[in-house]
Amino acid sequence: MEQELADFTGQEAALIFSSGFGVNVGVLNALLGKNDIAFIDLQVHRSVLDGLFRTNTKKIGHNNVDYLEFILKKERHKYETAMVIIDGVYSQDGDIAPLSETVALCKEYNTLLYLDDAHGIGTFGKTGRGVAEHFDLPGQIDIITGTLSKSFGTVGGFVAASKKMIDYLRYNTNTAIFSAAVTPQVTGSVLKAIELMRSDTQYLHKLWNNVHYLRKRLTEEGFDIKQTVSPIFPVMVRNPHKVEEVIRLLNERHIYACGVGFPAVTDKEARVRISLSALHEQKHLDTLIEALNEIDSLLHIKKHCQWNK
């Protein structure tokens, strides 16, 4: 399974963990110490922040390559190992990283690039290999991390990198060494998922047809879905109490969506988060739009009522 994941993500080797959260915590803790620095996007996943407690960090804004260049020029030379840490697809807003520019800057400033592609693997790229494939940058990312809990449909996570890096991590990553391995059921499911992804891109086409259709419909209907370009749709409500109510009303109509509020986002950024799958049919998406419109007539979510009203 490690070799399959490595091949699928275009890396030499991989190491499996029992959660994606544990990957980021363990790998970053193993690689960066007090003489090193991590340059991190403002919207990286919580697990990245929890892996950086032994090292120096600088925030680089969100998708801001000009600021990244400025800070690399100013700070890089003061440290031994430097690493830029970004997500491929941002988990709450559904936007994607400016990967080509980031790869070029990392090369110019002798800095490792760490890409958490939890949401990109299985969804982005011609054959679903993630944002590196989407931007046509195979083999140009030093470290790719992923989860088995999204497009693979199970639980667990992995890191994929050079053989030398993975050999080092295999003996130095506490969250892998001191935690149980994934179960045979997970391994079987993940191998099958990779086989399906490799053999047939019909699921990917179906998924992207759904994404284009839902984005068009939600925009036409006047919902605020930020700058999403992925199967993650934030429907902005900007009021945590209303989010709870919207989720309840969707559930009543047999639609499952996730309410997102503090601590994942601030109260003013509270939203309903919809994740699309290749198995959704257009009729499901029409039912969702109809339900959201009905709920809007009760709760006025399109208008972004003040969050504290």
Ligand X SMILES: Cc1ncc(COP(=O)(O)O)c(C=O)c1O
Sign of CA dihedral 130, 234, 21, 184: negative
CA-to-CA separations, 296 to 244, 299, 304, 309, in angstroms, rounded = 14, 5, 10, 16
Who's near 120: CB < 8 A, 6+ residues apart? 88, 89, 96, 130, 131, 132, 134, 230
Closest CB 144 distance from ligand X, rounded Å: 12
Q: Which residue among 9, 19, 111, 123 contacts ligand X (CB under 6 A)?
A: 19
Beta pairing partners, 89: 96
Q: Which residue among 10, 20, 234, 259 contacts ligand X (CB under 6 A)?
A: 20
Q: Which residue among 16, 68, 82, 87 contacts ligand X (CB under 6 A)?
A: 87
Q: Which residue among 43, 64, 140, 149 contacts ligand X (CB under 6 A)?
A: 149
Tell which positions 24-83 bind ligand X, by CB under 6 A: 24, 45, 47
Residue placing its CB nearer to ligand X in the complex, 273 or 280? 273
Candidates 50-58, 112-120, 218-226, 258-266 — which segment interacts with ligand X by CB under 6 A? 112-120
Beta pairing partners, 257: none
- Are 263 and 192 in contact by the 8 Å Cβ rule? The answer is no
Q: Which residue among 51, 157, 231, 240 contacts ligand X (CB under 6 A)?
A: 157
Site membership for ligand X, residue 158 (CB under 6 A): no
Query: Cβ atoms within 10 A of the Cβ of 103, count?
Result: 19
Candidates 15-23, 120-128, 134-142, 298-306 — which segment interacts with ligand X by CB under 6 A? 15-23
Candidates 2-10, 113-121, 124-132, 253-261 — which segment interacts with ligand X by CB under 6 A? 113-121
Site membership for ligand X, residue 296 (CB under 6 A): no
**In the bound complex, which residue of the shown chain has the CB atom lying closest to ligand X?**
20
CA gap 305, 242 in Å, rounded = 10
Closest CB 145 distance from ligand X, rounded Å: 7
- Are 207 and 246 in contact by the 8 Å Cβ rule? The answer is no
Nearest to 227 by CA among 124, 94, 59: 94
Beta pairing partners, 147: 157
With CB under 6 A as the rule, give the number of residues binding ligand X.
14
Binding site for ligand X (CB under 6 A): 19-21, 24, 45, 47, 87, 91, 116, 118-119, 147, 149, 157
